[in-house]
Amino acid sequence: MADDSLYARLGGYDAIAAVADSLLARLTADARLGRFWANRGDDGVRREKQFLIDFLCHNAGGPLLYTGRDMATSHRGMGIDEADWAAFRGHLEATLAEFSVPDRETGDVLAFIDGTRADIVER
Ligand code: HEM
């Protein structure tokens, strides 16, 4: 039986890692969102990127274990607001377009990410 998981449809680990790489570069370079990553060490950001990759792969049905914290715990206290979320969402859509992710998979990724919003946005 063909593997119809979102993980497989996105192209597996390397494709998801490439998306995470581009997305995080966009987020850290954004004038509005940059403050969330200001003054953090390079290796801390690399570690967070690996967590992001593991989280996305695991939740898309891939054979990866996510050992990071849940979304509410890891973002609580950052004060992420609606405008931050809208900026994040814009970068995510631009990244998926950059990699020519098809409409169905783009919709599935956005629906999954939107499902984490209530845990991440605080005001
Ligand atoms: C405006 C939106 C967001 C901002 C500003 C943001 C910012 C951050 C920052 C600064 C960290 C590092 C925390 C630390 O090292 O203590 C982090 C961790 C993380 N974020 Fe986000 N994030 C956002 C949305 C999301 C979304 C939508 C997801 C889900 C795909 C996500 C997944 C993660 C994961 C998996 C970690 C690592 C958790 C851990 O360290 O245990 N983030 N985020």
Per-residue model confidence as pLDDT tens digits over 91-122: 999 999 999 999 999 999 999 999 999 999 99
- How is the chain split into domains, by residue range? 6-120
Q: Is residue 13 over pLDDT 80?
A: yes
C-alpha 21 to ligand 1 mean position (Å): 14
Give domain 6-120's CATH number out of 3.30.70.270, 1.10.490.10, 1.10.10.10, 3.30.565.60.
1.10.490.10
How far out from the chain centre does Cα 57 lie?
Answer: 10
Ligand 1: residues with CB < 6 A are 33, 36-37, 44, 48, 51-52, 55, 68-69, 74-75, 80, 84-85, 88, 113, 116, 120
Residue 65: is it exposed, middle or buried by C-beta count within 10 angstroms (0-12/13-18/19+)?
Answer: exposed
CB–CB of 42/48 below 8 Å? no
Q: Is residue 2 over pLDDT 80?
A: no
pTM (2 d.p.):
0.95
C-alpha 74 to ligand 1 mean position (Å): 7
